[in-house]
Chain A
Amino acid sequence: RKEVEQDPGPFNVPEGATVAFNCTYSNSASQSFFWYRQDCRKEPKLLMSVYSSGNEDGRFTAQLNRASQYISLLIRDSKLSDSATYLCVVNRNNQGGKLIFGQGTELSVKP
């Protein structure tokens, strides 16, 4: 089983749509959680950290369910510029900060 598993993509949505990405992780010792976005052949860029209480940043909402080992990202009112690959990332913290990446879910927002 993969340590971090994401929805297979791609997601093709019209502008203005709401889209949700799901992610599960296998190691219950994981302690920090993040969503990064990656544009084609570029570096991962931090989108947001994910907290147990859930958190929101503008159009983006992240949720964490530790009991289910499940992380989600909701994008409301999607824009053309949201087109990218979204990476679910987990950190066990007790391993020198090693980040474990999911394979990514590609989002394409169309006019």
Chain B
Amino acid sequence: EPEVTQTPSHQVTQMGQEVILRCVPISNHLYFYWYRQILGQKVEFLVSFYNNEISEKSEIFDDQFSVERPDGSNFTLKIRSTKLEDSAMYFCASSEGTVQPQHFGDGTRLSIL
């Protein structure tokens, strides 16, 4: 069964550094998403992306965050200057359309020191 893949599985970074989280969505999917989950809290939407542009973003997704689809397969989330509160599990997801279910990758655990 096709799946969403994410790398790395765990990223440890000093506060203030830039990080790039990578995702390979399911190949025939057109919509891509990033979510995050702080330990012990619920999953929160960050951003959705379609046709090479952002469709929707949450309040969390401020100027420190950006997304990109640099080639035909990868979808990346960049955090420019990380803060302690960015420590969380980051999940990438993809779907065929906005109505269809979203399928999640196994996540990147981001730890900011």
Q: Is the CB of A42 within 8 A of B55?
A: no
- The CA-CA distance from A31 to B100 in the complex, in Å, is 11
Counted as pairs of residues, one from A and one from B, with CB atoms less than 8 Å apart, the total is 65
Query: Is B111 positioned at the interface, with any CB of A under 8 Å from its CB?
Result: no
Within 28-66 of B, Cβ neighbours of A (below 8 Å) are at 31, 33, 35, 41-45, 48, 50, 54-56, 58
Name the one of B31, B89, B91, B99 contacting A31, with C-beta atoms under 8 angstroms.
Answer: B99
Q: Is the CB of A91 within 8 A of B43?
A: no
Q: Is the CB of B89 within 8 A of A41?
A: yes
Name the one of B99, B102, B106 contacting A42, with C-beta atoms under 8 angstroms.
Answer: B106
Q: Is the CB of B106 within 8 A of A43?
A: yes
- The CA-CA distance from A46 to B94 in the complex, in Å, is 12
Query: Is B74 positioned at the interface, with any CB of A under 8 Å from its CB?
Result: no
Q: Is the CB of B42 within 8 A of A43?
A: no
Q: Mark A26-51, 1 if CB is under 8 A from B, else 0.
A: 00000110100010011111100100
Name the one of B50, B98, B107 contacting A93, with C-beta atoms under 8 angstroms.
Answer: B98
Q: Is the CB of B106 within 8 A of A91?
A: no
From known contacts A41-B89, A42-B107, A43-B104, infer whether A98 and B45 are also in contact, taking CB-CB under 8 Å: yes
Query: Is A87 positioned at the interface, with any CB of B under 8 Å from its CB?
Result: yes
Query: Is B72 positioned at the interface, with any CB of A under 8 Å from its CB?
Result: no
Least distance between B5 CB and chain A CB atoms (Å): 11
Q: Which residues of B contact A32 (CB under 8 A)?
A: 99
- The CA-CA distance from A91 to B97 in the complex, in Å, is 12
Residues of chain B at the chain A interface (Cβ within 8 Å): 31, 33, 35, 41-45, 48, 50, 54-56, 58, 89, 91, 93, 95, 97-99, 101-107
A-B pairs with beta carbons under 8 Å apart, 11 shown: A38-B43, A93-B98, A95-B56, A96-B98, A97-B50, A97-B55, A98-B56, A98-B58, A99-B35, A99-B43, A100-B45
